[in-house]
Amino acid sequence: AQSVTQLGSHVSVSEGALVLLRCNYSSSVPPYLFWYVQYPNQGLQLLLKYTSAATLVKGINGFEAEFKKSETSFHLTKPSAHMSDAAEYFCAVSDRGNEKLTFGTGTRLTIIP
Amino acid sequence: EPEVTQTPSHQVTQMGQEVILRCVPISNHLYFYWYRQILGQKVEFLVSFYNNEISEKSEIFDDQFSVERPDGSNFTLKIRSTKLEDSAMYFCATRQALSGNTIYFGEGSWLTVV
């Protein structure tokens, strides 16, 4: 069975500061890993995904994530937070041969002006 | 950017009533999914659908739930007799092919059962 743990249900950072959202996964097979963002009253938008190519993955809006197998982690970062980054962020995992996504509980990111 | 379209965006229904949530997938996508998110909780997988049949379903997807693609375009989720605990945001998602492709989510249908 797969699972995802997101540390910190709420994270607050100042505008211009580094954003770091943590995600650890558990999977019995090499995983596919995803970060999705959910803005208020909107659906889930894919930020980036890891599918066994480069371990450092760049996504939209300046976000990136690094797959670290030894740490079973896929943390999301952005060098400089912007007010528009305020949203809920979900980490998700899937088996390569399995269709479904297993989501973490989400991290709500607040940007302090 | 291709879009998955869901209707209605919000529905309020009486307990025990039937509800149908509709989804228009991206045109060349072959794999379809329903997920749900109860307020304040994680997004949960309900069911996957391919080639006009269910390929996987979760424990949540009991006999009260059904899916179909009646006209080759819309993909629907039916809840036969709604319960209070069915109140949630329901997301449709679609994928072009199985391996390595992105799953695209719709904006969700918010169901409130009263």
Contact A101 B91 (CB under 8 A): no
Confirm or reject contact between A59 and chain B (CB < 8 A).
Answer: no
Instruction: State how far residue B97 is from chain A, nearest Cα, in angstroms.
Output: 10
**Residue A98: per-residue pLDDT:** 62
CB spacing of A99 vs B48 below 8 angstroms: yes
Query: Which of B44, B98, B102 lies at the smallest CB-CB distance from A49?
Result: B102
Closest CA to B47 of B19, B17, B79, B24: B79
What are A51's two structure tokens?
């599918």
Q: Give the C-alpha distances (Å, rounded to integers) separating B58 from B43, B72, B100.
A: 13, 24, 22
pLDDT over threshold 80, residue B100: no
Per-residue pLDDT tens digits for A12-71: 999 999 999 999 999 888 888 999 999 987 888 999 999 877 899 999 999 999 999 999
User: Residues A50, A32: contact at Cβ < 8 Å?
Assistant: yes
For residues A84 and B113, give the distance between their C-alpha atoms in angstroms, rounded to a whole number. Answer: 33
Residue B99: band (very low, low, confident or very high) from pLDDT cuts 50, 70, 90? low
DSSP codes joined into one string, A45-58: EEEEEESSS-SEEE
SS3 B84: helix
Q: What is the C-alpha radius of gyration for chain B, rounded to an integer number of angstroms?
A: 13
CA distance B109 to B37: 10
For residue A72, give both structure tokens. Answer: 């079973």
Interface of B with A in 39-98 (CB under 8 A): 41-45, 48, 55-56, 58, 91, 93, 95, 98
Give alpha helix (H) positions in chain B.
none
Q: What is the pLDDT of residue A97?
A: 59
Q: Is A35 on the interface with B (CB under 8 A)?
A: no
Q: Which among B37, B26, B101, B86 has a CA at the least distance from the CA of A88?
A: B37
Those residues whose C-beta lies under 8 Å from the C-beta of residue A101, and which sit 6 or more positions away, are A34, A92, A93, A94, B35, B43, B45, B103
Residue B98 has pLDDT above 80, yes or no: no
**Which residue out of A25, A100, A107 would a mutagenesis test of the B interface target, given it has the greatest number of B Cβ atoms within 10 Å?**
A100
**How many Cβ pairs within 8 Å bridge chains A and B?**
52
Region B16-41 average pLDDT: 93
DSSP, collapsed to helix, strand or coil, labels residue A17 as coil
